[in-house]
Chains A and B, each alone.
Chain A
């Protein structure tokens, strides 16, 4: 960036100044240095707080405050340094600045000439990679589907978000539909707040309170209940647990009150806990049953879930252990994809996912964790619905093509120059003679 003068800061020159600033090498250097720093600090933070919390704080943020004590032991004499908050730009802001910097500096402002076409393409590939990161951040939805052999699934469950379901029951104790209170309406309930929900279909209003991110319902008869500070409901209290650093291990709970709209009859109150759900796909969530105005209902806490536009049946789960130990050597799934009655057999292996209709099924895991050899096991697929799923590959190909063109042209220049010199030399010698 050239030397700035007072004239550059005149309002009329502001656009030019901004373009100069945002396209400067200095900005690129500063952004890259901060990216290195937040990658380092985020990795250290992950040690104590887990991957999800680290991603949220350091990479899915505009700004953040970092404390040197996070993940980095300091000698007692320097512990005071660890308490000083260091303001830092977040990963989101840095990515945005880098995208702008590359777009203006390497695409718009750069002099377009034949020799620079390779670098232009390579920079375009890098910008495309950053854009794909943003699209993934904004629109990717990921969860999992777990199936035993013979089971068919068409819904994906979230790893870490829970919702409430209210189920009107028929006389057979079955439900046709579930009314859902989404996780963000639960997670935002503050201490002491009683949040009300209503639905025209229901003869009662619902009051949710005492939302706890990670809690164990304990009977008041147990001595440990003395450590539970919340209200007693039906002989139980919520014992608050420290949130796990692995966010998917948190099991939230609430106190739900079902209050008749008619005013007749008493309200029904219960604790609804994520502990009623079961991670084993053979067993669904256990529900609380109640009756209001002569009608039966059920309520339960389940993981947030969403449909895929086809069904997947697990035909065979192949699981091999290393000889003599329980460690997995190889595991893969033979599945059938079912869509509109048409069946297609497929295999999903490590690094060989199934991509279809915008969804990607990766072979992720297996269970139950304590399964002994010979026990039935389930296969777990990570399911991603990411519009930018393949964009990083495309950006890599574009960047590679750009660099190959650039270096190819440089190589051609290099190899052709000596021939010109050699061709010129005899003429010179002849002239000299």
Chain B
């Protein structure tokens, strides 16, 4: 019986050697024929869109409302089952499906061209000064100094006093999408040991003005669950 032992060892060594791959280029051997309904390939030029970034990053207009919950506490609670906070959805706003880097998104306006979203980031989320100036840059405005940013007005959110940003200008998203004239942005940023929370609303200036009360009410309604 023991005489087979060296043979077994040799076989095992051969098998293991066969498993290792050479350092050179690997040949692509897997090929599959596509069925008729697979042949049309959906090529997307914008990387932001391809990576399913939020529409602001993708440079697109506010996502058009495609169904979703209506306003009110009940709808909000239904949409936020997994989120560690509660809110009240303002009248006329429509909750959007969750997207990467956005915990909560809404669209509003006749064609859904206004949008508001909430993001949470760990730590300081890049810092208050960097984020306020990033938002100003998206509206084509010059950066503010740290002292100017600290002096910005405050609004309540999550029981804290958040830094309130209200700026108007020419809006362009992070992905270098179309430039939109006469836009306005409202935003509140709060930071705590638990992380940073950003609420940002953008849209045509007139539409934003008509939704400013709703924005304030939404921010004030945000509370830890």
Report which A residues bind B (CB closer than 8 A). 15, 154, 163, 166-167, 169, 173-182, 185, 195-199, 202, 205-206, 216-219, 221-224, 226, 234-236, 270-271, 273, 275-276, 283-289, 298, 300, 326, 368, 370, 372, 375
User: A236 to chain B: which residues have CB within 8 Å?
Assistant: 47, 51
User: B185 to chain A: which residues have CB within 8 Å?
Assistant: none
Distance between B92 CB and nearest chain A CB, rounded to angstroms: 18
Contact flag A287-B41 (CB < 8 Å), given A181-B28, A198-B27, A216-B100: yes
State A298–B48 Cα separation when bound (angstroms). 17
Contact flag A196-B41 (CB < 8 Å), given A219-B57, A276-B50: no
Stretch at the interface among B9-17, B125-133, B146-154: B125-133
State A411–B125 Cα separation when bound (angstroms). 75
State A217–B24 Cα separation when bound (angstroms). 29
State A197–B30 Cα separation when bound (angstroms). 12
B101 touching A216, Cβ below 8 Å: yes
Contact flag A275-B51 (CB < 8 Å), given A198-B27, A223-B134: yes
User: A167 to chain B: which residues have CB within 8 Å?
Assistant: 34, 41
B126 touching A219, Cβ below 8 Å: no
State A274–B158 Cα separation when bound (angstroms). 34
State A222–B131 Cα separation when bound (angstroms). 9
Supply 11 further A-B pairs (C-beta < 8 A) apart from A235-B176, A275-B52.
A163-B30, A179-B31, A197-B26, A198-B26, A199-B27, A221-B174, A222-B57, A236-B47, A276-B51, A287-B42, A300-B41
User: A275 to chain B: which residues have CB within 8 Å?
Assistant: 51-52, 100
Question: Which chain B residue shows the least CB distance to A202?
Answer: B28
The one of B35, B49, B67 in contact with A286, judged by C-beta atoms closer than 8 angstroms, is B49
Contact flag A224-B125 (CB < 8 Å), given A174-B39, A286-B42: yes
Contact flag A178-B34 (CB < 8 Å), given A271-B47, A276-B51, A298-B41: yes
**Size of the chain B interface, CB-CB below 8 angstroms:** 47
State A286–B175 Cα separation when bound (angstroms). 17
Question: Which chain A residue shows the least CB distance to B127?
Answer: A223
A205 touching B25, Cβ below 8 Å: yes
Sample (8) of A-B pairs whose CB atoms are under 8 Å apart:
A174-B41, A175-B34, A181-B30, A202-B28, A216-B51, A217-B47, A223-B130, A226-B126
State A321–B120 Cα separation when bound (angstroms). 33
State A155–B104 Cα separation when bound (angstroms). 34
User: B33 to chain A: which residues have CB within 8 Å?
Assistant: 176-177
User: B67 to chain A: which residues have CB within 8 Å?
Assistant: 372, 375
A270 touching B79, Cβ below 8 Å: no
State A163–B29 Cα separation when bound (angstroms). 13
Question: Which chain B residue shows the least CB distance to A222?
Answer: B174
B168 in contact (CB, < 8 A) = no
Distance between A254 CB and nearest chain B CB, rounded to angstroms: 13
State A185–B21 Cα separation when bound (angstroms). 10
List residues of B (151-203) whose CB comes within 8 Å of A's CBs: 174-176
A174 touching B40, Cβ below 8 Å: yes
State A286–B121 Cα separation when bound (angstroms). 27
Distance between A94 CB and nearest chain B CB, rounded to angstroms: 22
A175 touching B25, Cβ below 8 Å: no
Question: Which chain B residue shows the least CB distance to A217?
Answer: B51
The one of B47, B79, B97, B125 in contact with A235, judged by C-beta atoms closer than 8 angstroms, is B47
State A283–B37 Cα separation when bound (angstroms). 12
State A161–B179 Cα separation when bound (angstroms). 39
State A326–B74 Cα separation when bound (angstroms). 13
A176 touching B34, Cβ below 8 Å: yes
A287 touching B174, Cβ below 8 Å: no
B38 in contact (CB, < 8 A) = yes
User: B68 to chain A: which residues have CB within 8 Å?
Assistant: 370, 372
User: A283 to chain B: which residues have CB within 8 Å?
Assistant: 42
A224 touching B32, Cβ below 8 Å: no
User: A169 to chain B: which residues have CB within 8 Å?
Assistant: 41
**Chain A CB within 10 Å, residue with most, of B39, B41, B79, B127:** B41
State A287–B130 Cα separation when bound (angstroms). 33
**Chain A CB within 10 Å, residue with most, of B35, B51, B126, B127:** B51
B210 in contact (CB, < 8 A) = no
B64 in contact (CB, < 8 A) = no
B45 in contact (CB, < 8 A) = yes
State A288–B41 Cα separation when bound (angstroms). 10
User: A15 to chain B: which residues have CB within 8 Å?
Assistant: 1
Distance between A301 CB and nearest chain B CB, rounded to angstroms: 10
B7 in contact (CB, < 8 A) = no
